[in-house]
Amino acid sequence: MAVKKPERVLVDEWRDVLSLHARTMCELDRELHRHGLGASDFEVLDLLAEHTSSVRVQELAGRVHLSQSALSRLIARLEKDGLVDRVMCPDDRRGVKVGLTDEGRARHAEVLPLQRAVLSRMLSDAPSD
């Protein structure tokens, strides 16, 4: 049987998680800004880089922590910057697929080590249980 933590401990742990997330996102935004990206921009590029072909926007929406409209605006901005392209799904006219352009792959490869270094630094400094 699991031991219940006191409510105060749970709340404090939750606030620690939120604080670590906020600090990490701020640090990522600060570091990636020099490369014309924000933390959410990079997250979308990183998810797309895991695939060899385009990905349905619905699939991305399930993996990034943005509203559908915020994700749509982010994708439009990345498309305007030449980092992604959008196409209609051939088998479902309501669906849209997004993929990295060559420029998007190059930008992702350029900033990947920087993003990973920030994550390593921020998460290794985090208190552990």
Task: Express each pLDDT in 17-70 by its tens digit.
Answer: 999 999 999 999 999 999 999 999 999 999 999 998 899 998 899 899 899 899
- pLDDT in the model for residue 129: 53
Domain chopping of the chain, boundaries? 9-124
Question: What are 81-91's pLDDT values in tens digits?
Answer: 999 999 888 87
Question: Is CATH 1.20.120.80 the right assignment for the domain spanning 9-124?
Answer: no
Residue 40: name the closest of 26, 20, 52 by CA: 26
- pLDDT in the model for residue 4: 74
Average pLDDT over every residue of 70-79: 96
Is the distance from CB of 76 to CB of 116 less than 8 angstroms?
no
Provide the sign of the torsion angle of the four alpha carbons 63, 66, 69, 70, taken in this order: negative
- pLDDT in the model for residue 125: 67
For 7-45, b where at least 16 C-beta lie within 10 A, e where not — what string? Answer: eeeeeeeeeeeeeeeeebbeebbebbeeeebbbbbbbbb
Take residue 80 and report the two structure tokens written for it. Answer: 């305007």
- pLDDT in the model for residue 38: 95
The crossing angle, in degrees rounded to 10, of helices 39-49 and 102-124 is 110
Average pLDDT over every residue of 113-124: 95
How much is the pTM? 0.86
- pLDDT in the model for residue 126: 60
Is the distance from CB of 98 to CB of 49 less than 8 angstroms?
no
